[in-house]
Amino acid sequence: MIISDKIKIGNRISMESVKASKSQEKRIYQSRVLDVLDDYTYDIAIPMEHGHIVPLEKGRRFEVIYYTDTGLFQNECSIKDRYQKNQIYMLCMDSMTRLVKIQRREYFRLPCDIVMKYHNLDVKEKFLLDRLHSAESLNSLEEGMIKKELMIIRRENPWKEGQVADISGGGVRFKNNELLEKGQAIRMQLNMQLPGTKGIVELNGIVVESNHQLDNVYEQRVKFDDIEDNMREAIIKFIFDEQLRLRNQ
């Protein structure tokens, strides 16, 4: 793929410098695409740190991640030029490799400490959730009845506590105090700040592996199930943002 196929004005990017020598420090910067010039070059706003322009030299190379409406993409670029246009300081970036989409197997797994709840997901609850989230024709009365049924189910099948140890675009690893059956479907509530979630993310998962760690501690590996693309992309964006924040501390 080429730049003009997928990258649009306004797309956010993160740039990790490619070390030219052992003495050169690797850094990560954030910016936005200001203009797509042709198939391989584009303008970005010069990165800022603490309110000051970062003086990046021409020829410097970066691994660039693009956050787009159709997913995450990546390639290697170099700074072709620096200039000012309409009182805006810009960098002209030149693609050195073709644009590739970041695939599921390349998801970065972020170590974390996220509070969560879970319970076994039975067929009836899954059916009601699917109907609630996918049926655009539901009226307010039908929606209210489904939510009432879900409340009854969850009173009979209460949430249990867990602690997420790491998360990726494909699933989570969490610790709890019971052994779960491999292949068991579960419903999870994760305390995460994602757009439109009010701090709580509800997801379905399938237990891939369950192990006894020590005393009353168990470790579960769970893959996401029936996750919508926009939710997966939001989780990936959260992970990359956290990765950038931690690296720049």
Q: Confirm or reject CATH 3.30.300.30 for domain 110-122+157-247, answering yes or no.
A: no
Share of the chain above pLDDT 70, in %: 91
pTM of the model: 0.60
Q: What share of the chain is helix, strand, coil (3-state, %, to 5)?
A: 20, 45, 35
Domain 3-102, classified CATH 2.30.110.10, yes or no:
yes
**Rg of the chain, C-alpha, whole Å:** 22
pLDDT at 136: 62
The structure tokens listed for 21 are: 């020598």
Q: Is the pLDDT of residue 155 over 80?
A: yes
Q: 5 pLDDT band (50/70/90 cuts)?
A: confident
| Structure-model confidence comparison of residues 205 and 52, the more confident one | 205
Average pLDDT, rounded, for the chain: 87
* Angle made by CA atoms 24, 27, 31, in degrees to the nearest 5: 140
Average pLDDT of 188-194?
92
Q: Check whether 103 has a pLDDT greater than 70.
A: no
Sign of torsion, CA 136 126 118 237? Answer: negative
Give pLDDT, residue 11.
92
Domain-wise residue ranges, the chain: 3-102, 110-122+157-247
pLDDT of residue 142 exceeding 80? yes
